[in-house]
Structure 1
Amino acid sequence: MRQNIYAFIEENEDVRNYLRIQPIWYKKLMRNPQHLDQLETEAKYFFKKSIPHRVSKFSEGVQVASMMLHMFQAMNNSGS
């Protein structure tokens, strides 16, 4: 395997773990090293670290916070 690809895999923990789960990527990278970006994208989607996943997670957090705020307001108003 090329040194630059090996170094990239070693420094990126998600890619390294994804390669352990999907070892077919070793063969793909040996034949086509330019697919490294595709591997990184698939690893991000697998571990739910892509931008759409992060936006969704943030949105869910905001919804939970909003629900809690409304609940506290309702409890506060009923107690008065």
Structure 2
Amino acid sequence: MRKEIIDYLETKTDLQKFVREQPIWYRKLSRNPFDLESLEIASLHHYKRTVPHQVEKFTNGVQMASMMFHMFQSMKNQN
């Protein structure tokens, strides 16, 4: 792998961790060293940091809060 790619990965610890977890990226970056954009996109999908993942996480939090609110409301109404 090229030195500039290694230096870039050292500055981005999450990408460095991803490449260690997914060793196929060593081969891909060795063959095409300018494929960093694909690496970053794959990393975002792997760690679920894309916008749809964040929206889903937020929605799940809102649903949980709503469920807890309704549960407390029903407990209050029973007393």
Q: What are the ranges of 5 or more consecutive residues in structure 1 without an aligned counterpart? A: none
Q: Higher mean Cα deviation, 54-63 or 13-22?
A: 13-22
Give the number of aligned pairs.
78
Aligned residue number for residue 54 of structure 1: 54
Aligned residue number for residue 32 of structure 2: 32
TM-aligned CA deviation for residue 67 of structure 1: 0.4
TM-aligned CA deviation for residue 19 of structure 1: 0.5
Aligned residue number for residue 69 of structure 2: 69
Which amino acid is 2:32 matched to? N
Deviations 1:16-38 (A, max 9, x none): 11101122212221221221010
- Percent of aligned pairs with the same amino acid: 46
Q: What are the ranges of 5 or more consecutive residues in structure 2 without an aligned counterpart? A: none
Mapped partners of 2:7, 2:56: distance in 1: 31
TM-score (norm 2): 0.84
Mapped partners of 2:22, 2:53: distance in 1: 21
CA RMSD, Structure 1 to Structure 2 (Å): 1.4
Aligned residue number for residue 11 of structure 2: 11
Deviations 1:3-51 (A, max 9, x none): 2x33331122221111011222122212212210100111111111221
TM-score (norm 1): 0.84
TM-aligned CA deviation for residue 54 of structure 1: 1.1
